[in-house]
Amino acid sequence: MFDGKYAGYTFSCYAIVAVVMVVLTVWIVLDERRQQKLLDEFQAQKKRKAEGGEVAS
């Protein structure tokens, strides 16, 4: 796989690319989940308010 005289250089390149790509992917995926969760909370809050209004009336 990574052998020979310059194996360290080749391995470092692949390792850096892998680390940056994983960090970028995780950051984007977590951001989307966080925003979706916040939006769901807003929707649940709105639903609770609407139900509360119905009960009151």
Partner 1 sequence: MSQQPSFIEKYANPTFFMNLSGKIVPWLTALTVALLSLGLYFSMTVPDDYQQMGTVKIMFVHVPMSILAMGAYAMIAISSIGSLVWRHPLADVSAKVMVPIGMAFCFLALVTGSIWGRPMWGTYWVWDARLTSMLILLFLYMGLFAIWQAFEEPSRAGRAAAILALVGSINLPIIKYSVIWWNTLHQTASVLDAAKITKPALDKAYLPAFFTMLIAFSLLLVLLHMKAMRAEILRRRVQARRMRQVEQAGSSATAHMVTN
Residues 6+ apart with CB under 8 A from 2: 10, 11, 14
Q: How many residues does the chain have?
A: 57
Q: Are 28 and 36 in contact (CB under 8 A)?
A: no
Q: Is 28 a residue that touches partner 1 (CB under 8 A)?
A: yes
Q: Is 56 a residue that touches partner 1 (CB under 8 A)?
A: no
Q: Is 44 a residue that touches partner 1 (CB under 8 A)?
A: no
Q: Is 26 a residue that touches partner 1 (CB under 8 A)?
A: no
Contacts to partner 1 by CB under 8 A: 1-7, 9-10, 12-14, 16-17, 20-21, 24-25, 28-29, 31-32, 35-36, 38-39, 42
